[in-house]
Amino acid sequence: MLALDLFVNGLIFGLFYALMAVGLAMIFGVLKVVNFAHGEFYMIGAYTYVLCAMKLGLSPWLALPMAAIAGAALGALVERLLMRPLYAGYGSWNIMKDEYAVVVTFGLSLLLINLVDKVVGPYPYRGPPLIETSRFALGPVMMNGQKLIAAGISVALLVGLALFIKRSLWGRQIQAVAQNRLGASLAGIDATRTTALIFAISGLLAALSGALLAPLINPSPDVGAFPAIKSYVIVVLGGMGSIWGAMMAAVLLGVLESFFAVYVSYDYRDAFGLLILILVLIFRPQGLIGEKGREV
């Protein structure tokens, strides 16, 4: 059945999108800036995975955590070096804050793409899959082992993140800083450390998303542009800054796109998401998911 096949595939891609987009949403939630280098976190994750597995000969199951570490380190580094002026004391910067964030993250995106292009080479690499299987039928749906495992890991990560944010001390600190940075500081929360944590988590998730998809997409230096644009759409659709909104919007977009590509137009499937973005920003800036969009 084509429709069911499309639905399941869209759902799975929605999960990968969600891994990317929640990080972006968390960053927007605390700093009210869009990280235009988010796709490059994904790219770095994919490359770390592929290079660790192929050049260092690590098992793919070890290469995966390496990608996570690389993404988290990159996220923390970006926060420390580039984002901290946005909130730590530089009072006079307020007036051009948004512009600074766009310029710096845009520049960072170009820098990382070209650095990888120069150091590793412009050719696409294909990563080894986590398990070797051929395509098999899962009920009525054709499935491939890597996709299924990657989807499973994504679900585990998303549930883990949700629990972490809701239940753990650090997660509650993240919620507090997103709601009110000053108030959180007054209550004794180290807002600076929390922001660094958010960037690290965001980098980690994006990098893992890249690593999980590496066997399916053949990473090349500019591979991040595509998922980054998806995440912008999702973050807008889910209400800028809302983690739960982003998760739901990601799955929604994955399914919608997979149907659009088959039933309407394959060539314009990317333009479709962007059109949604523009329409939502103009007519419903709080996002589709609802008024609770401001929560985290």
Partner 1 sequence: MSDARNLWANRLRTDFRAALVVVALLATVPLFVSSPYTLGILIVSIYFALIALGWNLLAGFTGQFSLAPAAFAMLGAYTTALLDYHLKAPLAIGIPAAIVGTALLGFLLGRIVLRLKGPYLALTTLSFAEIARVIVYNSHNFTRGDQGLNVPSLMQSRIGYYYLFLGVLLMALAGLYRLMRGKAGRFWLAIRDDETGAESRGIPVVRYKTFAFALSCAICGLAGSLYGTFSQLVSPELGLLLQTGLVIAMVVIGGMGTLTGPVVGALLVYLTSEWLREFGGIQLIVFSLAVIVFARFFRAGLWGIATRR
Q: Are 224 and 42 in contact (CB under 8 A)?
A: yes
In the three-class reduction of DSSP (H, G, I as helix; E, B as strand; rest coil), residue 189 is classed as coil
In the complex, the smallest distance separating the C-beta of residue 170 from partner 1, rounded to whole angstroms, is: 26
Determine which residue in the list 121, 264, 281, 290 makes contact with partner 1, applying CB under 8 A. Answer: 281
Q: Is 240 an interacting residue with respect to partner 1 (CB under 8 A)? A: yes
In the list 3, 4, 62, 96, the residue contacting partner 1 (rule: CB under 8 A) is 96
Nearer to partner 1 by C-beta: 229 or 262?
Answer: 229
Tokens 């299924």: give the residue. Answer: 148
Q: Which of residues 135-174 bind partner 1 (CB under 8 A)?
A: none
Residue 262 is inside which H or E element, if any? helix 243-263
What separation, in Å, do the N-terminal and C-terminal C-alpha atoms of the chain show? 39
Question: Looking at 88, 168, 271, 292, which residue binds partner 1 (CB under 8 A)?
Answer: 271
Neighbours of 85 (CB within 10 A): 14
Burial label for 274, CB within 10 Å (0-12, 13-18, 19+), is: middle
Among 55, 285, 290, 292, binds partner 1 (CB under 8 A): 285
Work out whether 88 is an interface residue with partner 1 (CB under 8 A). no
Q: Is 85 in the site for partner 1 (CB under 8 A)?
A: yes
74 versus 153: smaller Cβ distance to partner 1? 74
The answer to whether 274 contacts partner 1 (rule: CB under 8 A) is yes
Report in angstroms how near the CB of residue 56 gets to partner 1 at its nearest.
25
- From candidates 229, 259, 284, 288, binder to partner 1 by CB under 8 A: 229
Would you say 16 or 232 has its CB closer to partner 1?
Answer: 232
> Which pair of structure tokens corresponds to residue 4?
């069911």
Among 115, 131, 156, 186, binds partner 1 (CB under 8 A): 115
Between 88 and 281, whose beta carbon lies closer to partner 1?
281
Residue 21 within binding range of partner 1, rule CB under 8 A: no
State which of residues 102, 141, 149, 288 lies at the interface with partner 1 (CB under 8 A).
102
The closest of 249, 272, 276, 217 to 24, measured between CA atoms, is 249
Q: Does 110 bind partner 1 (CB under 8 A)?
A: yes
* Subset of 45-74 contacting partner 1 (CB under 8 A): none
Cα three-residue angle 246-252-257, rounded to 5 degrees: 120
Q: Which DSSP state fits 288?
A: S
- Taking the C-alpha atoms of residue 286 and residue 191, their distance in angstroms, rounded to an integer, is 25
Of positions 108, 191, 206, 237, contacts partner 1 by CB under 8 A: 108
Q: Taking the CB of residue 219, how many other CB atoms lie within 10 A of it?
A: 29
Amino acid at 36: F
Contacts of 209 (CB under 8 A, 6+ apart): 16, 19, 20, 42, 45, 154, 227
Closest CB 222 distance from partner 1, rounded Å: 9
DSSP 110-171: HHHHHHHHHHT-SS---PPPSS----EEETTEEE-HHHHHHHHHHHHHHHHHHHHHHHSHHH
Report the residue number, 152 or 285, with the smaller CB distance to partner 1: 285
Residue 189 token pair:
């929360």
**Interface ranges with partner 1 (CB under 8 A):** 28, 32-34, 36, 82, 85, 95-104, 106-111, 113-115, 117-118, 225, 229, 232-233, 236, 240, 267-268, 270-271, 274-275, 277-278, 281-282, 285
